[in-house]
Amino acid sequence: MATAAIELKNICKRFGSIIANNGINLSVYNGEILSLLGENGSGKTTLMNMISGIYFPDEGHIFINGEEVFIRSPKDAFKYKIGMIHQHFKLVDVFSAAENIALGIESKERFNLKKAIEDVKAICDRYGFEIEPEKKIYEMSVSEKQTVEILKVLYRGADILILDEPTAVLTPQEAQKLFAVLRKMKEDGKSIIIITHKLHEVLSLSDRVSVLRKGQYIGTVKTSETNEAELTEMMVGRKIELNIERTEPVEPVKRLEIRNINCKNREGVQMLSNINFDAYSGEILGIAGIAGSGQKELLEAIAGLQHLESGEIFYNNPKNGKAENLRDKTPLQIKELGVRLSFVPEDRLGMGLVGNMDIIDNMMLRSYRKGKSLFVQRKKPRNLAEKVINDLEVVTPGPTTPVRRLSGGNVQKVLVGREIAAAPTVLMVAYPVRGLDINSSYLIYNILNEQKQKGVAIIFVGEDLDVLLELCDKILVIGSGSITGIVDAKTATKEEIGLLMTKSNGGASNA
């Protein structure tokens, strides 16, 4: 076989104690599309960032056309004709497409935007892009912006293109258009690496598939010789025994009834469509899905933070037995009812806690409205802070330490501890163990189990399927904003959930 356009040998990358990539081998040939498949956090993006010069590998070698290279910066990557299209676009909003494409290009010639526009048009004609070079970025749709990003790397003469989840933001039609373009580039002899976790895309587009799981290289298969089931198994692996205690639900009562909710994000993209489910008290309902499939919107909708296009959310109030419609209520009223959102977003401090304030003040964020006097009461929050520190074993010099200085796991404990302290009836947690070590994770699981025993309805958004299967009673699988299935966690398998997660929009059926 010919020399690979790019070949990775035994690449390792660590961030502190976390091993993001371990002994990865990969090769792409000219005129080939390689899919890089893996769950969230399996190290796909880290690996690609090493090829594009954002990170530098701790170990291993990179070869381009058979010669070893060292890529230390994005500039080096350009030199080796590698172009990466990031998930989050790097574009200047007030510039036109052509200005963005021409940005930072070093040439001895006088700056000539007209020539740049002509060059861009030539590339467009060659690959079948449709774009107005003089249109401003802020007037463009997401798909147009992506086109500009691709043009940017092509304009710089890239031969190796890396696309990080390019279809995550596109409609199916736009995705088909993109695939047509990618196929044309392939015919043109370019090497393309596409990061994705949508199996049907992998099967329809790529020549070969490489699979990563938890930072490990699992293997590479030819697309023509594989199928969805095999790929899913490679991606999620066999079930691992975790031994998380799962208690039987205590007298489950319908607590939340979600009926046909629909919602759009600010760009007008449908984020949730026709979501229907019930959450019972004394039960942990797990939500599984690829990141960005609508989990955040769903939780926010229940907490009253999302505007709903249509649909109802009923809350069966245990105090008076009445069903109340949460859609008519403000977030504050919903909170008073005992519906608690303990949201742990990607950036831990972003929501829920104020980094520069100490633990006591952060406790006070939930209680400052209660006092009647002019001054805030610090005594109760102080007791609460001390209780949370003791009960949840928060490692901190004291309750007056700014939250920002705590380690990630301890920050999460403070957040969860505060929400639990308010004796909620519904507790929603998203990725509560992200970035935590095993012990802290188990502590959080135990807290959730305790709450379950107390009859709280728990909604748990997680990313580790093993954990979801061990901890939850039911698992709701969400894909592209619709429910692709609700399974019983006691009998379901990882493969089953994996398939549901990657199920495309068209095959969605509501449970």
Packing angle, helices 172-187 and 113-127, rounded to 10: 90
If the CB atoms of residues 136 and 264 are measured against another protein, the closer one turns out to be 136
Query: CB of 432 within 8 A of CB of 401?
Result: no
Query: Under the phi-then-psi rule, with left for phi > 0, alpha for psi from -120 to 50, and beta for the rest, what region is 463?
Result: alpha
111: contact with another protein by CB under 8 A: yes
Q: Running DSSP on this structure, what letter comes out for residue 240?
A: -
Residue 152 CB, nearest distance to another protein (Å)? 8
Considering only 1, 16, 17, 94, the residue that binds another protein (CB under 8 A) is 94
CA distances from 322 to 315, 318, 341, 384, 454 (A): 8, 8, 22, 31, 20
If the CB atoms of residues 101 and 326 are measured against another protein, the closer one turns out to be 101
Pairing of strands 482-488, 323-325: unpaired
Part of the chain binding another protein (CB under 8 A), chosen from 26-34, 94-102, 280-288, 308-316: 94-102
If the CB atoms of residues 105 and 269 are measured against another protein, the closer one turns out to be 105
Considering only 41, 44, 78, 343, the residue that binds another protein (CB under 8 A) is 78
Q: What angle do CA 56, 57, 60 make, to 5 degrees?
A: 140
Which residue in the block uniquely carries the two structure tokens 């200085």? 405
Query: CB of 507 within 8 A of CB of 484?
Result: yes
Part of the chain binding another protein (CB under 8 A), chosen from 101-109, 268-276, 286-294, 403-411: 101-109
92: contact with another protein by CB under 8 A: yes
> Three-class SS string for 417-483?
HHHHHCCCCEEEEECCCCCCCHHHHHHHHHHHHHHHHCCCEEEEECCCHHHHHHHCCEEEEEECCEE
Q: H-type helices in 81-171, by residue range? A: 97-102, 113-127, 142-155
Residue 341 CB, nearest distance to another protein (Å)? 27
Considering only 36, 102, 288, 421, the residue that binds another protein (CB under 8 A) is 102
106: contact with another protein by CB under 8 A: yes
Considering only 15, 18, 59, 90, the residue that binds another protein (CB under 8 A) is 90
If the CB atoms of residues 105 and 180 are measured against another protein, the closer one turns out to be 105
Considering only 9, 69, 87, 95, the residue that binds another protein (CB under 8 A) is 95
267: contact with another protein by CB under 8 A: no
103: contact with another protein by CB under 8 A: yes
Contact map string, positions 117 to 156, toward another protein, x by CB under 8 A? -------------------x-x------------------
What CA–CA distance (Å, rounded) separates 36 from 43?
A: 10
Query: CB of 223 within 8 A of CB of 208?
Result: yes
If the CB atoms of residues 89 and 179 are measured against another protein, the closer one turns out to be 89
If the CB atoms of residues 76 and 324 are measured against another protein, the closer one turns out to be 76
Q: What DSSP string describes 340-388?
A: EEEE--SSTTSSS--TTSBHHHHHHTTTTTT--SSSPP-HHHHHHHHHH
Part of the chain binding another protein (CB under 8 A), chosen from 98-106, 201-209, 267-275, 384-392: 98-106
Part of the chain binding another protein (CB under 8 A), chosen from 27-35, 93-101, 213-221, 284-292: 93-101
Considering only 74, 318, 331, 435, the residue that binds another protein (CB under 8 A) is 74
Query: CB of 110 within 8 A of CB of 119?
Result: no
75: contact with another protein by CB under 8 A: yes
If the CB atoms of residues 56 and 368 are measured against another protein, the closer one turns out to be 56
Residues that bind another protein (CB under 8 A): 74-75, 78, 90-95, 99-100, 102-106, 111, 136, 138
